[in-house]
Amino acid sequence: MNKAIIKCPHCAKSNRVPAAADGRPRCGNCHRELPWVVEAGDDDFGEIAERSGVPALVDFWAVWCGPCRMVSPVLDQLAHERPGQIKLVKVDVDHSPQLSTRFAIQAVPTLMVIVDGKIVARQAGAAPAPVLRSWLEGALAK
């Protein structure tokens, strides 16, 4: 099983969290909710994102993509602002061709919000932090 190492923003303790865990990850030291940032690919996307117990913010990105590198810290910040409320799932399109085809990814970055296995919002291209924050809040309100 894929595990993510998540550093607690409250006490700085590193925590090993299964990428497909049920519930909401908590720090083993201070017991506060952790921001959940994981990677997924062709083999484990369904388990990690589509069957997630919390809404999944999916980032389809590529190493060579400049706008992806600009958006990534904003998405990390959104996950840190909403510990226990969202799971940020990063999908490298070059290593996940089946997912890229399945979701018709034609531009990177492409963002999706998946709630209860359904896509409730989708956006292609980079955007400033306030726009992404507003987009995510609107998607989570649906």
How crowded is residue 94: how many other Cβ atoms within 10 Å of its Cβ?
12
Average pLDDT over residues 88-101: 97
Question: Tokens representing 25?
Answer: 């990850």
Distances (CA, A) of 115 to 32, 68, 121: 23, 23, 9
Give the pTM.
Answer: 0.92
Q: Which domains does the chain have, with CATH numbers?
A: 36-141 (3.40.30.10)
State the pLDDT at residue 84. 85
Residue 65 appears among annotated catalytic residues: yes
CA dihedral 84, 75, 107, 49 (to 10 degrees): -10
State the pLDDT at residue 122. 98
State the pLDDT at residue 18. 86
Question: By the 8 A CB rule, do 15 and 73 touch?
Answer: no
Residue 68 appears among annotated catalytic residues: yes
> Of the candidates 32, 42, 33, 93, which has an alpha carbon nearest to the alpha carbon of residue 68?
93
State the pLDDT at residue 1. 58
Average pLDDT over residues 98-126: 97
Prior bond to 109 cis, omega within 30?
yes
> Of the candidates 50, 29, 25, 30, which has an alpha carbon nearest to the alpha carbon of residue 40?
50
- Residues 35-69: tens digit of each pLDDT: 999 999 999 999 999 999 899 999 999 999 999 99
